Each structure stands twice: as structure tokens, then as C-alpha cells.
Structure 1
Amino acid sequence: MAAKDNIVLIGMPGAGKSTLGIVLAKIMNYDFVDADLVIQSQCDKTLQKLIDACGPEGFIQVENQILSDIRASKAIIATGGSAVYSDEAMRHLTEIGTVVYLKISYEQLVGRLSDFQERGVVLKGGIGMSLRELYDERLPLYERYAEVTVDVDDLSITAAARKVADALEKGV
């Protein structure tokens, strides 16, 4: 069994998992793993092309497999926003790290995600799914898997990363 010495970031697309993850890795002297880039690299396709090719369910299967195989130590792992659809992957990530939910309000999300239809966002409800529906569908999943929740509304990336680091020092 791997040591539980990683930090796993979950949250909505646009919550800052990748950008904040890089800053957090520097603050904590950890490696950084961007799960979306691992998926793109292993599949040799952008996330959007993969979703177009496999459909949302197919993409979730691919993501589940790749996330379940991640082996890391002392790393910040930024997951895709859809990682929480994969029970097996989330079980694995919980075993190897502390799951931190980057919580963002719907209002802030709207400001950050004007282009969410082109961002490689998995829409289980189909292409017509609204951002509100996506937010409402995923919120309970993020809350279920979160071991630490950090509200990142109105914070710069650096301030949010420091807030996460502080929360981890207190809680871990």
C-alpha cells in the first residue's frame, strides 16, 4: 500500500486545480501531476477530442483507468473536474492522498468559465447541459469525496494556494 503522502485537488472546471496546484507544489516542495495532461499524453488526443471520440461515458472510463493507475509520492495531483464520476479512481486517490475540494461559488464560476463548452468539460447530460446543471450535479460528489474543503472565491491563485497549504498543515 502506497503512503498517503499526496494532495489530490478536486473541484469544478475553472476552480483553479491546475494553476493552484503548481503554486501549491512550490510552496510545499512537492511534485506536480496534472491528471488531464497525463490523459492527453497517454491517449495522444486533447481532452475535447477524446470526449468527442468516446462520448462522455467513454471518456469517464478512460479517466477512471488512468487515475486508478497513478503512482506518486509527495505530489500535488490536479484531477479533471469529472474525476468524481469515477468511484474506483476516487477510492485509489483517497488511498494515496488527502483529497482537497477547491470550492467555488456558481457566480464566480460563471465569470471564469465563459468558454466551458470548448474546454474539454465532460457533460454527462449531453452538449445542451447548462453550467448550472453541471454545477448542481457535481457539487454533492465533490462534497462526498472531500477530506478538506477550501473556499477559493475571490482569492488570487497564490492566496488560494497558501490557504490550502494552511488548511493541510492544520488538518493533516
Structure 2
Amino acid sequence: MSKRRIYLVGMPGCGKSTLGKALAEKLNYTFVDLDTEIENVENRTIPQIFETEGEDYFRKVEQKVLHDNLVDNAVIATGGGAPCFFDNMDFIKNNGISIFIDADIEQLAERVLSQKGTRPLLSHAEDLLTVSKSLEEKYNARLPFYTKSDFRLFVKDKSVEKLAEEVHQWLNRDI
């Protein structure tokens, strides 16, 4: 496999970071979590950035961090909204392989609710039904961006190891 970047895109809670770490280990690649990189650059958490600066500021920082992280042989987990702003999805497509991690709304809602307080755009949601409705709206709005990806991986009832193996097989077929 030649030098490459693998960008994981998808909704909050779909498992981009978890799968990204497993896939990076399987491929002997570096793992980059863009949200962590943003927090390091800004020296504050993403909820703090949203609270003090707002979403527009966050999206500009997110774009800069995305463009600045051109690490070869890396699996890069993007934020859920990253592909949907500016030229980010075109940038991802032009600089690597994009994989859409697609999970059911119910699964996303359970995960997001269990991580309350870490996802600013979903912080208002108090219960499973509210979170599900909010996620479904975001999913439908973001789907046109996500589906531009090179590969769509359905998460339903699969272990992280199985998902990483599926991606690995697809990548080897793609050479």
C-alpha cells in the first residue's frame, strides 16, 4: 500500500475515533483525531470554543486544522460536521481516501446521550427521542456530503475488529 491518508467521516457517535484507532493499528498508520487536534491548537475543549466563540469560528478553525494535517500513512477521524462546510469534502477527496461510517439513528442517539456534554450541537437534547430527532435532521442534511465518500461502511451489529477488517479488505482491493 502506497503512502495515503484515510479520512473517516460520519455522524457524531458513529465510531470514527474508535474505528480509526483500530484501523490505524491494523495498517501500522498514525491515528489523527481532528477534534483533539483542534482542542490542542485552541488550548480548550470544543464545547468551550462553541460557548465562547460560536460555531462559525469553530468551523474556520476546523478547516485550518484539516488542511494543516497532511500526515502520510494516517487514519484521520474528522468531526461529524467537518465534511459539510467550506470546501472540506473536496479537500478530503483530493488528499486521501474517504470512508463514510454509517450507523443507525437509534445507535447514534444512545451513544451521543451517553456522552452528554461533549457534543455542543446536541447539548440541548435531554432524552432519547429528542436526541434521535435532532440526529435524524442532521443526518439528512449531511448525507449528501457523506455519500461523496469513496466507501460507505455500515456499522450495524459489527464489532470494531470486523469493521476494521472490512475496510482493510476494501483498501487492499482498491490498490
TM-score, scaled relative to structure 1: 0.87
Stretches of structure 1 that go unaligned for 5 or more consecutive residues are none
Match of 2:49 in 1: 50
Return the offset for 1:115: 4.5
Give the alignment partner of residue 152 of structure 1, picking from 144, 152, 155. 155
Is the contact between residue 89 and residue 145 of structure 2 (CA under 8 Å) also seen in structure 1? no
TM value normalised by structure 2: 0.85
> What's the counterpart of residue 61 of structure 1?
60
Equivalent residue number for residue 172 of structure 2: 169
Q: 1:94 Cα deviation (Å)?
A: 2.0
Gaps of 5+ in 2: 126-132
CA distance in 2 between partners of 1:166 and 1:134 (Å)? 30
| Count of residues in correspondence between the two structures | 167
CA RMSD of aligned residues (A): 2.2
Q: Secondary structure at the match of 1:114?
A: helix
CA distances 1:52-109 after superposition (whole Å, capped 9, x unpaired): 1221222111111111221210110111111112232332222221001111121221
SS of the equivalent of 1:57 reads helix
| Alpha carbons 1:21, 1:78 under 8 Å: kept | yes
> Structure 1 residues 40, 103: CA separation in 2 closer, same or farther (over 3 Å shift)?
same
Work out which of the residue numbers 119, 125, 140 in structure 1 matches 2:144. 140
- In the TM superposition, what is the alpha-carbon distance from 1:41 to its structure 2 partner? 0.1
Alpha-carbon contact 1:51-1:120 (below 8 Å) kept: no
